[in-house]
Amino acid sequence: MLRIAVLVSGGGTNLQAILDAVDEGRIRNAEVSVVISNNPGAYALKRAEKKGIEAVCISPKEYASREDFNEAFLAKLNGYAVDLVVLAGFLVVLPEKMVRQYANRIINIHPSLIPSFCGKGFYGLRVHEKALERGVRITGATVHFVDEGTDTGPILLQKAVAVAPDDTPEILQRRVMEEAEWKILPEAIDLIAAGRVRLEDGRVRIIQEER
């Protein structure tokens, strides 16, 4: 059974997609052991509580320095002994020590087709504003492993979404979530839980399901 920690900062619709997928058997052999947020007001924490999942808030604001927060955050996470960390709209820069300790065991959902519209400062609505500004006809979402960079780790899954002529950033964000994020993040977790994901020379290989 793959033990998962989901790190959140906001509404938690991606977390909800994971929880629903577990309930509906689209994620097998995995359980969400804990949901951790930096934001006490994150509705994602309420979503976890409704499912009886431990919901923890640990905020940088509670600590004298970022170093103190990083230490406390990593210690808190380590206490749950999870196999996989899922960043689902988590807006805090991960401690370097955590990225090293959980090498190849942290995945992130990003609301564009990486390498487009990603990197420092590209999160939330701004990603879609930039896609519309550039006039792309296709955008989408990416699940990637997290390395020491920003949105630079090996790509696991991507899903394309069409941009409509009258899209606003809000309409496009919602479509990318509904048609891409909420589908590929659960799928990625199910693949990892099934042991079908290999990382080879910085590239991801997905092993075909045995018939």
Nearest residue (CB) to ligand GRF, 88 versus 131: 88
The DSSP output letter for 181 is I
> Per the structure block, which two tokens stand in for 89?
């709209």
- Looking only at the bridges linking them, the beta strands covering 138-145 and 106-110 are antiparallel
CA 206, CA 192: separation in Å to the nearest integer? Answer: 9
Sites of contact with ligand GRF (CB under 6 A): 8, 10-15, 44, 88-89, 109-111, 124, 177, 181
Q: How far is the CB of 207 from ligand GRF (least distance, A)?
A: 26
Cβ proximity of 181 and 12 under 8 Å: no
Residue whose C-beta lies closest to ligand GRF: 89
Q: How far is the CB of 209 from ligand GRF (least distance, A)?
A: 27
Catalytic entry in 47, 110, 130, 144: 110
Contacts of 195 (CB under 8 A, 6+ apart): 207
110 is annotated as an active-site residue = yes
Nearest residue (CB) to ligand GRF, 124 versus 169: 124
CA 133, CA 135: separation in Å to the nearest integer? Answer: 5
Q: How far is the CB of 68 from ligand GRF (least distance, A)?
A: 26
Q: Which of 69, 48, 74, 67 is nearest to 59 (CA)?
A: 69
Q: How far is the CB of 200 from ligand GRF (least distance, A)?
A: 26
The DSSP output letter for 137 is S
Nearest residue (CB) to ligand GRF, 12 versus 95: 12
Nearest residue (CB) to ligand GRF, 2 versus 88: 88
Report, as residue numbers or ranges, the catalytic residues: 110
